[in-house]
Structure 1
Amino acid sequence: MMNNDEIFRIAMEQSAEDMGCKAEAFLSDSNVVVSFRLGDNSKKYYKLPIGANFISYGNNTVVGVTDELSDIVNEYIEKYQFYHCFETPNMNWLNERLAVKGYKVCFMAEYYLPEVSKIPVMDCKYDLRILEQKDFQNLYLPEWSNALCKDRKELDVFGVGAYDGNKLIGLAGCSADAELMWQIGVDVLPEYRKQGVASAITSALEREIIARGKVPFYCSAWSNIRSVRNAIKSGFIPAWIEMTIKPTEIVDEMNI
């Protein structure tokens, strides 16, 4: 079984592939700026155009940036200490300067990796079942939109379902977003929440992914406290954060 050091190494190597740098960049005490490039094996959910992507594993900030925005980004990370680059007052400074070039801050999220020795085996009063890709055919519904992705069905490799009799009441699915890293998404029907279902199916899927030789990872907005609590309860720990810059028209389209 992989240990925590191996898991973090794989994650950093993947992040390096996702922006066009070397994995060692994330361990530097200084901020690093490189020319943005999506590698051939980057995570499947990244979509161009991307003006810049900021990633921090807690030591510094590494930024992949296009030539068009290079001067603005370099000034930004020199102006603010690395973790302050992800704080709203400072992002307002960045947004004002990006606007002139036709860009805005778009996505921000926190990512989690498993702490292998602390992945719990959770009790659950409902029946837990392993579901394979063929079992998802009729599950691409709004209630399972976090666990499964209708637009990338081919990446939904397997999951863990919780059943009340024959009724599916909770689903944790994993998407093969990279060769070695599979992302977990979770949904529980509202009337079955606060019963430990989410953490039971998340931790079960987490263990199963590791058993298959892959690294499970989990993503949440900072404001989604329910999701953050589930991650921590299921044996995940905060690993890295990302902030992505995209053209203004793409960001504005999301707000229509």
Structure 2
Amino acid sequence: MKEDIIYKVKDQLAKDYNCSIEDFNNKDNLITDIAEVKGSRKYTDDKEIIKILIFNGKLVISADKSIKEWCKENLLNIPGEWMFLYSVLRKIDKKINEFGYEIDNTHHYYLPKENNELVNENYKLKWFEEDEILQFKGDNRFDEAFAFNKNYPDVLAVAAVDDNDNILGMAGASKDSDIMWQIGINVMKEANGKGIASTIVRAVKNEILKRDKVPFYGTVESHIISQKVALKSGFYPVFAEIKFKKIKISKEDK
């Protein structure tokens, strides 16, 4: 199963970064022309000028022609494992500021290594399909579980509930592409430390696998608790990305 999932993820990342699956079979850094390939993941409606991926130590950059030569000269020789050094990120951010963009965040992502059995706990699981998830729109308790974004719609969720049907935690899955569904998680403060997070993440992961999709889990470097949830839920780290966004200019700055 693990090898099949890796192949599907390579196929997805090849679409995202305008390269081929075979490009991931070596560790030579690569730069491509940025393009919106059919089937690629889309997280913003703004024009993108750069995307950066680290996969198994390999650096892949997709860049607009306006910044491609700069990337070749300044980034292509940096080992992928050192791309998240602050000195490197600062250099990238300073350059893309010239084009009206900035680094949004750095995420690393986890893939499933096994289909874990659920752990019996003192709470029930309640499932929600795509249409049923809409009832939670605007509910700030679930800001990580659900995105409510047309580019990556929420398609599946599971909640841990107590005997009175009160929600203790919610794990949701967004359809980031036809291949890959991303998991987000929220646990209520009063339910922290009870193992709810790993149980519901594992539950939604197993359900996604049953639907022949690839579940994946992302978090930032400083979120140690989230990383522990991923590992406890049967995931392991595989790739990382730098995300960018347009700089928003306030009225005061105009």
TM-score, reference length from structure 2:
0.90
**Structure-2 residue corresponding to 1:95:** 93
Rate the CA distance shift 1:93–1:29 in 2: closer, same or farther, 3 A: same
Name the structure 2 match of 1:177: 176
**Aligned to 1:61, what secondary structure does the other structure show?**
strand
Q: In the alignment, is the contact (CA less than 8 A) between 1:28 and 1:59 conserved in 2?
A: no
Q: CA–CA distance in 2 between the matches of 1:168 and 1:153?
A: 27
Aligned-residue RMSD, C-alpha: 2.1
Give the Cα separation in 2 of the matches to 1:102 and 1:157: 33
User: 1:51-200 counterparts in 2 under 5 A?
Assistant: 51-116=49-114, 119-140=116-137, 141-152=139-150, 155-165=153-163, 166-200=165-199
Question: What is the identity, as a one-letter code, of the residue corresponding to 1:22?
Answer: S
Q: Could you say which residue in structure 1 is the equivalent of 2:27?
A: 29
Give the AA of the match of 1:224. H
Higher alpha-carbon deviation: 52-61 or 93-102:
93-102
Distance 1:245 1:169, change over 3 A: closer
Letter in 1 for 2:101: Y
Partner of 1:214: 213
182-191 or 143-152: bigger deviation: 143-152
Q: Is the 8 A contact 1:129 1:162 kept in 2?
A: yes
Kept in 1: contact 2:42–2:151 (CA 8 A): no
Question: Which residue is 1:204 aligned to?
Answer: 203
Code of the aligned partner of 2:228: R
Question: Partners in 2 of 1:46 and 1:6 — Cα distance?
Answer: 29
Give 1:154 deviation, angstroms.
Answer: 8.1
Counterpart CA distance in 2 for 1:153 and 1:45 is 6
Unaligned runs of 5+ in 2: none
Count matched residues.
249
Q: Whose helix proportion is higher, 1 or 2? A: 1
Q: 3-state DSSP class of the match of 1:45? A: coil
Percent of pairs with identical residues: 26
Paired residue secondary structure (1:12): helix
Report deviation, 1:153: 9.6
CA pair 58-222 structure 1, distance change in 2 beyond 3 A: same
TM-score by length of 1: 0.89
Cα distance 1:100–1:176, how it changes in 2: closer, same or farther (>3 A)?
closer
